[in-house]
Amino acid sequence: MNTSTLSSRGTLLASALGLVIVLLDVSVVNVALDAVRHQFATDVSGLQWVINAYTLVFAALLLTSGALGDRLGAWRVFLVGFVVFTLASAACGWSSSLPALIAARLLQGLGAALLVPNSLAMLQHAFPDREQRNRAVGWWGGMGAVSLAAGPVLGGLLVTHLGWRSIFLINLPIGLLGICLTLRHAARVAGHQRTIDWAGQAAAILALAALTWALTEAARLGWTHVRVLGSATLAFIALAVFIGIESRIRAPMLPLELFRRPTFVIASAAGVVVNFAYYGLIFVFSLFFQIQQHLSPQMTGLAFLPMTVVLIAVNVLAGRLIARVGPRVLMVLGLLLAASGYLLLMPVSIGGSYGYLVLPMLMSASGIALMVPTMTNITLSSVDASRAGVASGVLNSARQVGGMLGVAVFGYLVRDTAPTPFMHGMHLSIGLAVVLLLGGSVLCWRGIRPDRINA
């Protein structure tokens, strides 16, 4: 094996490890919610912040991170991301209070945002041959999917046998290995001049943070509280300022002309809906299994196993079906399948058998797995090749925002953990997910047209 091949493979492993720890922390924390609740004597709002602090910064900084990598060099920004994520993971594991844990999760989100887009840029430099690059990206995505699927099971085992802090400390050896591989193998490609939209970035962070605060704290303070109303108002003002900035500057972080393409808009909206339903209900079912059914973290992780395993298998299948049945059919089928699976979960009760949940969980996860690669394909096909990176970043940001809002809204509905109000809120959450997914299926059927793809 020559030096060039070794460096390429080392870069691939470093890039994949960056994605692995990012996606691992998306899914692993849910099975530790009850342990964190008891450790810090917190409520559902506190648990929402543990989840959403990470997602908030991750979603808000994804687009700027890619531009920063272009300017400073992807390997530099990726390396900083690994260092930040690893140190933040240590801070999470050693947190002595809930505010300290939330602050460390915010730093983890920063590290995640620096890692993901620049890991792909590193692969582009390491594999100039298109066929080799496609295979490398396939391995990159496959390792990420495995980590996302393994998160709940691994988290359950760690929390049960080593305590909740171990789900963060497990990132330390992965992070150190990733840092070493990056320093040893990543190509030192110089950056190039690119304007960073700092004003737009600041407005986007303010809008998302204010909206998240309003939705999360409404569970504690109520919707009519002056701070909740003030935060919601601030979110709308910041959003208006953000749109104004993006419409006027020469190099915006979010080119608004993308939203003149109906197919791109529909794919982004579908991304919001899918993650809203999926991550919101993962949060709710994590609380249901641990607080209402009193399952251990290990058993909670195993309870999610049918969903996580099918995500990998159907993701692979979806890539092969797109060309055969078309993206519109696959999107609508996925949305309807997920809606049907969640609809079958409506009769769930505290004393019910777990066996009844397996088929609906398989159906809902299969539907979502059909949609994720399909909406990515639609997004990239609906814009010019020169805008593919930005369009992909917008879709990923939209999905992260959807997941954040899902946890915030559904967390509000199950904020009272007493059995009767919790189950009422859980049924409302499932019903809302079904309605949104059905609405998304109608939107995709009416709005996705073959003549609007490959524009």
Asked whether residue 455 carries a pLDDT value surpassing 90, the answer given is no
Residues 280 and 147 in one domain: no
Per residue in 309-318, pLDDT (tens digit) is: 777 677 667 6
* Sign of the CA dihedral running 316, 13, 53, 198: negative
Per residue in 34-72, pLDDT (tens digit) is: 899 999 998 888 898 999 899 888 888 888 887 787 778
Asked whether residue 191 carries a pLDDT value surpassing 70, the answer given is no
Per residue in 374-408, pLDDT (tens digit) is: 887 787 777 775 566 677 778 888 888 898 899 88
Q: How many domains does the chain have?
A: 3
Residues 205 and 188 in one domain: no
DSSP state of 350: T
Asked whether residue 150 carries a pLDDT value surpassing 60, the answer given is yes
Residues 129 and 246 in one domain: no
Q: Please tell me the predicted confidence (pLDDT) of residue 453.
A: 56
DSSP state of 1: -
Distance from chain centroid for Cα 59: 8
Residues 324 and 454 in one domain: yes
- Give the CA angle between residues 418, 275, 208 to the nearest 5°: 85
Task: Using a pLDDT cut of 70, give the percent of the chain over it.
Answer: 91
Residues 230 and 298 in one domain: no
User: Residue written as tokens 């369009």?
Assistant: 391
Scanning 73-197, the segments in alpha helix (DSSP H) are: 74-93, 98-126, 130-162, 166-169, 171-185
Residues 189 and 289 in one domain: no
32 versus 149: which is more confidently predicted?
32
Residues 290 and 356 in one domain: yes
* Whether pTM exceeds 0.95: no
Task: Using a pLDDT cut of 90, give the percent of the chain over it.
Answer: 35
106 is written with which tokens? 């915010």
Per residue in 333-381, pLDDT (tens digit) is: 999 999 999 999 999 999 888 888 989 988 998 888 888 778 877 877 7
Q: Please tell me the predicted confidence (pLDDT) of residue 4.
A: 61
380 is written with which tokens? 């990239």
Scanning 326-418, the segments in alpha helix (DSSP H) are: 327-344, 355-381, 388-413
Domain boundary pick from 215, 235, 252: 252
CA dist 158 → 29, 43, 162, 285, 296 (Å): 11, 23, 5, 19, 11
* Sign of the CA dihedral running 124, 125, 130, 131: negative
Residues 183 and 298 in one domain: no
- Parent domain of 159: 1-195
Residues 409 and 449 in one domain: yes
Q: Please tell me the predicted confidence (pLDDT) of residue 382.
A: 75
Asked whether residue 452 carries a pLDDT value surpassing 60, the answer given is no
171 versus 220: which is more confidently predicted?
171
Distance between CA atoms of residues 279 and 298, nearest Å: 19
Over residues 269-289, mean pLDDT:
92
Residues 399 and 282 in one domain: yes
For 427, the 3-state DSSP assignment is helix
Per residue in 282-319, pLDDT (tens digit) is: 999 999 999 999 998 889 888 888 777 777 677 667 66
Per residue in 98-142, pLDDT (tens digit) is: 999 999 999 999 999 999 888 877 877 777 766 676 677 667 777
- Under a CB-based contact definition with an 8 Å cutoff, are residues 56 and 177 in contact? no
Quickly state the pLDDT bin for 324 (edges 50, 70, 90): confident
Q: Please tell me the predicted confidence (pLDDT) of residue 386.
A: 59
CATH of the domain at 369: 1.20.1250.20
Q: Please tell me the predicted confidence (pLDDT) of residue 388.
A: 62
Q: Please tell me the predicted confidence (pLDDT) of residue 3.
A: 56
Residues 228 and 282 in one domain: no
384 is written with which tokens? 């010019």
Residues 35 and 174 in one domain: yes
Distance between CA atoms of residues 210 and 213, nearest Å: 5
Per residue in 436-448, pLDDT (tens digit) is: 999 999 999 988 8
